[in-house]
Each structure stands twice: as structure tokens, then as C-alpha cells.
Chain A
Amino acid sequence: MPDIFGVPMVVLLGQIMLGLINGSFYAVLSLGLAIIFGMLNVINFAHGALYMMGAFVTWILLSTVGINYWTALFVAPMIVGLFGIVIERLALRHLYKVDHLYSLLFTFGMALALEGLFRYIYGSAGKPYPVPEQLAGVFKLGFMILPVYRAWVIVAAVIVCVAVWLVIEKTRLGAWLRAATENPSLVTAFGINVPLMLTLTYGFCVGLAGFAGVLAAPIYQVSPGMGSNLIIVVFAVVVIGGLGSIGGSILTGLSLGVIEGLTKTFYPSASTIVIFVVMAIVLIIRPAGLFGREA
């Protein structure tokens, strides 16, 4: 197999694949953040902690009650989503009318509290989670060896993202959501219960974070800090894609994962900062983000 700029093709493809996996998580998480920001006007700093919660719930379900991965794939996002709904009803919705800063501080505090809680109960050490047996093994693709589970993560993330995008862009429910983003009081006057819609939106997007957490459990170690490591990058992704653009955040998430992977191949020492470099460049050239509408 040929080399590209001195890098064996196999290594390159492997890194692109790894990048796509990271990108899948970026996409699912930034999608939820973008919807929450668009609808609720809230910068949900707790998103990473809720992703971590999804992974932990998955791990707890297996280790205490023996509930397997496939069931957890539905149950864990629902638990996280319900948690989000309670938080929205009790606290978040009182902050919509005041400055962004309040909800940002609130969700930031919530992230710290959640992380601290899980660290207090379960310790900082990562907990391994077994790959479900149906997804064990590898695909031998000739040019590379791809673990089945990783392929599954990419497929599942892409399917979920595309489904959410379709609902928002192509359905009547999506039209209500978009309209409520622009003019909630008029949408209410048309007979739609906007506060309820906001609650369910938050619950759903937070559930998406939980879903990403379930996907992550067998790949990364389940640990209280797993969300905060990721969320900073995800915020950079959202800024690059443009706040409030749904399709944009999906595409940006996946492609930044790949860019990160490529950087790891060609210039490893820059791989941890490449996304922030891209962010800085985008902010200079297009402050509203690649897919954001210029104000």
C-alpha cells in the first residue's frame, strides 16, 4: 500500500476512522447544543456532564441490575432526558427572560455538581464497559482493520443526526420549533403550547447527550471527567459551525473529527489544538460561524 507524504496509507485511514468516531460524538453533542441554544436561548454548559451521566447510567445499569447495552441504549437516554425535564421545569425556565449569562452560570454549576457527585460516589478512576458481544470483532477491510463497534458508533450517530435534522427541517413539528425560535408569543397565539415544547426540547436534546454517553461507554473509560474533557471541544465545534444551525453543527462535528485525525497523522503535537486554531480562523473570517446566519 502506498505512502502519502511519508505516512503509510493504512495509518492515515486508521486516523481518519478514529477522527470520524470522535466526530460522531462532536456531531451528536453539538447538534443538541445548537437546538437548545436556538430554542431556549440557553448555552447548556451541562451538556458534557449529561453525556457523562448517560455513560454512567449505562454502566450502573449493567453492573447493578444486569441491564444490557441494547436496553441501556433506550433506557439511559430516557433517564437523562427525564432528569433534564425536571431541571428545566424547576430551574432553567425561570432564566429564559434574563441574560444568557444566568443560564450559562446555572448549567455550568450543574455540570460541576454532577461531576462532583459522581466522583464522590464512584471515584475518579475510569470504569471499563464491555463491548456488546453482537458488536465484538473486527471488519478486515484490506486497507485497515475496523472494530465493528466503532463502525456501529459512526452509523448510529449519523442515523440519529440525520433523523433529527429531517424532523426539524421537514416536518410540521419542526416548523413549529423553528417558528417558536423566531417568535414564541405568536406561535403561542396560534394555539401551540410553547413552554411545554421548550421543556420537551430540552429533555430530548439532553437525552441525545445521554445517548452519546451510551455509545461512548464501551470505547472510552466511564469516568466523571469524561464530559468536561469533551465539552470544550464541542463548544468550539458549535462556534465553528455557527450557533443555531442544525445541519451545520452535524457537518462541522464530523469534519472537525476528521481534521483532528489528519493532524494526528501529519503533525501529532498540534492535534489537541487544531480545532481551536480552526475556530480562531473562522471567527476572524466569518464571526457568525460557517453555517450561521450573519446578524
Chain B
Amino acid sequence: MTDHRLEVEDLHSWYGESHILHGASFHVNRGEVVTLLGRNGAGKTTMMRTLMGVVRQRKGKAVLDGTDLLATPPHRVAKLGLGYVPEERGIFSSLTVAENLVLPPIVKPGGMSIEDIHKLFPNLKGRDRTIGTRLSGGEQQMLAIARILRTGADFILLDEPTEGLAPVIVDDIARALGTLRSMGLTIILVEQNTRFATNCADRHYVMDQGRIVDEFSNDALRADISKIDAYLGV
């Protein structure tokens, strides 16, 4: 039997009247990096927000390490070890870089120290007193990842970490992801950049219209990357 950390079954969610997730089902094993691929508006971000409890109107099953996420109040979800790096990065403009970095409370032992973080993302070093949103887009992305790593979260939801970034910065993020993976963290990665996804992940799910419609092993997708094209509409 494999070691499922996250089990999602027939998950639905709504923004007010709009029904967005339409019965999505998938699972994530311990230590895996799994991607959610799919075209714009497929519901990838909504999936993450639903799991985190940011979207409150939801139904179905989502169980993390035996705990029912749908029955967990939103401020308790982080304590289960779920760390969220949102698509828009969520760096606070009224906080300095240092304040942004230590904002999320520690949830589990084993998080990265500030020194480790500065080793992983040298760009953040010496920027403590800078206003968070004065960092470049890439640096803000690093900060958004770094502040989750400090908390000891061991299941990370990463929403489009490479969106809008220059290739050199994308390489930095890829290297960081590799480090996290070798540390044994479990990761769900939303990614538009299929090449980036196949360099980082173990398995891939395809989302469309609020459902999971297909699944590929990384080897299968690497062997023929065009399989995904029909789904992504390229």
C-alpha cells in the first residue's frame, strides 16, 4: 500500500453562486512532487484555496494525514503542516522583508533557519529592512517560498512559482524546488510551464473545468510532452 498523505475525492467548491470545482479526485503520496496542469480558469488556484480553507463553500472529501480538511477551521489548517505559496505571492507592503519572512508562525519542528534560507535564496540576504513589495517579482517569489519553509510545513502548495519570471530566476526557483524535494517535503505544484514541471515533478494531474481529467507519470510525459498539448490548448 502506498503512503497517501492527501486524499481528495469528489471535491466541490463554490464562489458564491459560481460552482467551480466539480467533483475533483486525486491523491498525493509522501515525499512526492505532483503538479496540477490545465488551462487558465481550469480551477487549479481554486483547488489550493479550497484545500487551505480560503474558499469556505465546499463539499466532498479532502483528508490530509488522516485529518478531514473540510472539518478543520481555516486557521488550524497550517498547523497540520500545509504551507501555502499563493499565485499572487502575497507579500505584505506594510511589512519589511524580515517581517514578511517571520510572519507565519512555526507549525512543526524542522523548519529552515534564516541562515539556511539565505543560503537557498542569496538574493534575500541583506534585504531585511526593505519593504516587502519593493523586491523584484522573482525576489518576492523567493520570499513567499522562504517564509513557508521557515515554518516547518512539510506539505507545500505552490501556485505558479515561475509565472512572469526571467529564465535565470526560474532556474533559481527550480534549484530551490530540488532542494525541498531532497528534504523529503511533499509538494503540489501548479505550473503553466510544462518543461519546468517535467524537470521538477514525479507525477502530473490535468485539470479541466473543475475536475481532474487525466494523470501522467513524469516519465510518460517526458517521453511525449505533446500528450498534454491538447489539454492545454496549445
Real complex partners, A and B? yes
What residues make up the interface of A, taking CB atoms closer than 8 Å to B?
A: 172, 175-176, 178-179, 181-183, 185-194
Chain B: interface size category: 20 to 34
> CB of B77 within 8 A of chain A?
yes
Of the listed stretches B5-13, B25-33, B103-111, chain A binds: B103-111
Q: Contacts of A190 on B, CB cut-off 8 Å?
A: 78, 84, 103-105, 151
Main SS of the interface on chain B? loop
**Interface residue B18 (Cβ < 8 Å from any Cβ of A):** no
**Which B residues are closer than 8 A to A by beta carbons?**
52-54, 74-79, 84, 86, 90, 92-95, 99, 102-105, 107, 151
Residue B77 contacts which of A176, A179, A187, A189 (CB distance < 8 angstroms)?
Answer: A189
The chain A residue with its CB closest to the CB of B78 is A191
Q: Assess the B52–A191 pair: CB atoms within 8 A.
A: no
CB–CB A189/B99 < 8 A: no
Chain A binding surface SS class: helix
Interfacial chain B residues near A189, Cβ < 8 Å: 52-54, 74, 77-78, 84, 86
CB distance from A19 to the nearest CB of B (A): 32
Q: Using A175-B99, A186-B86 as known contacts, say yes or no to A192 and B92 having CB atoms under 8 A apart.
A: no
Within the complex, what minimum Cβ distance (angstroms) separates B98 from chain A? 9
Q: Which residues of A are found within 8 Å of B95, using beta-carbon distances?
A: 175, 178-179
| Bound complex: CA A183 to CA B84 (Å) | 14
Q: Please name all residues of chain B whose beta carbon is closer than 8 Å to the beta carbon of A188 when the two chains form the complex.
A: 53-54, 74-75
Between-chain CB contacts (< 8 Å), 12 pairs: A175-B99, A176-B103, A178-B92, A178-B94, A179-B94, A182-B93, A183-B92, A186-B54, A189-B52, A189-B53, A191-B104, A193-B75
Residues of B within 8 A of A185 (CB): 54, 74
Instruction: Compute how far the CA of A221 lies from the CA of B133 in the bound complex, rounded to whole angstroms.
Output: 49
Judge whether A175 and B103 touch: CB under 8 Å: yes
CA separation between A187 and B105, bound complex, in Å?
10
Shortest Cβ distance from B67 into chain A, in angstroms?
A: 14
Residues of A within 8 A of B54 (CB): 185-186, 188-189
Residues on B with beta carbons closer than 8 Å to the beta carbon of A194: 75
Given that A172-B102, A185-B54 are known contacts, is A191 also in contact with B107, CB under 8 Å in the complex? yes
CB distance from A196 to the nearest CB of B (A): 8
